[in-house]
Amino acid sequence: MIDVDDLISLVRNYNPKTDEKMLRRAHDYAARMHDGQTRHSGEPYFTHPVAVAAILTEQRLDDATIATALLHDTIEDTKGTFTEIADLFGRDVAELVDGVTKLTNLELSSRESKQAENFRKLLMAMSKDLRVILVKLADRLHNMRTIRHMPLEKQKKKAQETMDIYAPLAGRMGMQWMRDELEDLSFRVLSPEERSSIIRRFITLQKETGEVIPRITEDIEAVLEKHGIEADVFGRAKKPFSIWRKMKEKELTFSRLSDIYGFRVLTKTDIDCYRVLGAVHQRWRAVPGRFKDYISQPKSNGYRSIHTSVSGRDGKTVEIQIRTRQMHEVAESGVAAHWSYRDGVRAENPFAVDPAEWLEGLTERFQNAEDHEDFLEHVKLEMYSDQVFCFTPKGDVVKLPKGATPIDFAYSIHTRIGHSCVGAKVDGLRVPLWTRLKNGQSVEIMTAEGQTPQATWIDIAVTGRAKSAIRRSLREEDRERYIKLGRELARVAFEQVGKKATDKALATAAKALHLSGGEDVLARIGSAEMSARRVVAELYPELAGQEPTAEVSERRAVIGLPPGAETRRAQCCQAVPGERIVGITYPGKGPIVHTIDCPALAAFDDRPDRWIDLHWSDGRHAPVHNVTIDVTISNEHGVLGRICTLIGEQNANISDLHFVDRKPDFFRLLIDVDVRNAEHLHAVMMAVEADSDVATLARFRDLDRSP
């Protein structure tokens, strides 16, 4: 274990003006509080907070953060209190320790809604003081370095949590070295055989080719010397997890994977960076599509560097990063560079970002998320995305994640532009909206008044901002329709367990599901974002599993018919079980069943004597209720077959299919589908509508087919 003198020496190396007395007091207090406690390895527990503090000295952090590292478990695991720490070390340190304690108490679960909730709390903690996260990341890093002493199941849980949350968070903050190590330590636990396999292949490769890194380093140094450029060159083999991820992404075997070595060139000035780039490209052939200039277009966390890949010695692809030494400091520390000290004063690095501005930019992207799932999607996109830089026709730069489309570009400019988008031009050429944008392209969005977002756009968009805006618009546009359908689906689901979907019940469910009210619950049910059965389960868990098992025959599907009469459904509305129905009598023919909202019923408003109150039998209805859906699909090879397969996957039978219109670019057709009930029909329609080649989908209503 590092003793207090060694720790203070590490701090004094970058901060000669450190408050040595305060750090000694923090060390002694924490040692006293943790006295008698041990880790899983059997070592004294206090070895852990000291190791965390030592990790943070590598980032050259201020005294308050180092003291917090020493004290970070005292409130959680000892008799230490917030008040006592504030009295001894000041309120700043006490609030940091309290913040780390609250983060430690978060139980990060695999359930997505729970993860999203914790991400919100993480951001809230970060917004108060980012140093809380820096201590927590160092805490997690040391725990992962010593994880082998924990029980295997706990190791896997911690490793997965680290891979899902802490590693990408470190990367998003610009601390790429920490992300790489956290990922590789997690990889060691989660996939030990794959990691060992990659290491064995590396050893074999080294035996076959010798030490490649020193030879390539010498090659680069020789090129720079020839051009009179003063710079330092460093080479490294990439981490096993990084190699494994590239193998998965590119679907390549290890033997075919070329860029497993990375090199870094550190210069004095920006101009030298570009001189190095020119010299390298003169000497070796650049790999197309592998050049990125983060100096002219920095990342939001302050990262600046030029990335290029070249075909180097023996044809091996070599990745080279070129940056100044000041840029490198920020690249190593990320947002933490704001607190870095040198010679006793806060380091004046022009590339370090203001944490407040960084957090504001980060949280701004998430503010439109309306629920936990939306928010989690935003976070994951933000954490894992690389960036592309595109231009507006006026030359303004728009930053987007890799894989973004013109839809994302439009919404990044303004939600109104996104909503009214009807097309796009990239570098002056008209392109489909699903086109993936590339670095340096100029994008022009074409709009039209009255245009509204299409449901298929959700599959096209990749940014959380665009997806959220599209979903919100679709919800608002279809809200009344969804609420109406959701009310019927909820009524059926509640009646199946002997309950009623009252306003109070729905309001209670909304509160339990963290939604704004009963209508929001109905809208989610109607839009298939939530099943009615889930709502019932939330309120009546003991009854939720009780589904009707008795099969209802077609002859007994409707209750309330006159004696001897059989079910006759009106073809204008094609009522199905689960929908409210009414019967209209005809002389000598018996009643015909309509949905309560069928437009054909208007003709009988003045004939109440012909109306009969009907309802569907309880139980499991057979899939014999024919409904016609109106679908417009792309005229592409295999689309129709895929649509038919989607319907079959929902256990629905296609009884007829009729083409209404054929155009060079689309087909419109009517498909007759046999379903059990309204919920079954809705599942079929949502499955079909979700396909990216389906332009429109609706339930076909034909008043000409009314009796």
Q: Catalytic site residues?
A: 76-77
Q: What share of the chain is helix, strand, coil (3-state, %, to 5)?
A: 50, 15, 30
Cα distance between residue 646 and residue 640, in whole Å? 10
Residue 74 CB contacts under 8 Å (≥ 6 apart), including other chains: 29, 30, 33, 34, 80, 85, 97
Q: How far apart are CA 194 and CA 690, in angstroms?
A: 36
Q: Which distant-in-sequence residues (6+ apart) come within 8 Å of 577 by Cβ?
A: 492, 552, 557, 616, 617, 621, 625, 676, 677, 678
The neighbouring-strand residues paired with 401 are 387
Alpha helices in 343-395 (DSSP H): 355-366, 372-384
Q: Tell me phi and psi for residue 653, to 5 degrees.
A: -100, 135
- The two beta strands, 611-616 and 581-584, are antiparallel
Q: What letter does residue 271 receive in the DSSP assignment?
A: H
- Under 8 Å CB-to-CB from 247, ≥6 apart: which residues? 253, 254, 257
Pick from 362, 394, 389, 359: which is nearest to 375 by CA? Answer: 362
394, burial (CB in 10 Å: exposed 0-12, middle 13-18, buried 19+): exposed
Paired tokens of 560:
């309330």
Q: Smallest Cα–Cα separation from 340: which of 592, 131, 37?
A: 131
For 321-442, where are the alpha helices, taking DSSP H only?
325-333, 355-366, 372-384, 406-413, 415-419
**Tokens standing for residue 120:** 């919100």
Q: In whole angstroms, give the CA distance from residue 202 to residue 155.
A: 26
Q: How far is CA 448 from the centre of its chain?
A: 31
Report d(CA 134, CA 100) in Å as an integer: 9
| Residue 172 CB neighbours (<10 A) | 21
- Annotate 656-683 with b (16+ C-beta within 10 A) or e (fewer): eeeeeeeeeebbbbebbbbbbbbbbbbb
- In eight-state DSSP terms, residue 165 is I
Q: Which of 280, 287, 291, 321 is nearest to 304 (CA)?
A: 321
CA distances from 606 to 593, 595, 602, 613, 707 (A): 18, 18, 9, 16, 17
**Sign of the torsion angle spanned by Cα atoms 184, 188, 193, 197:** positive
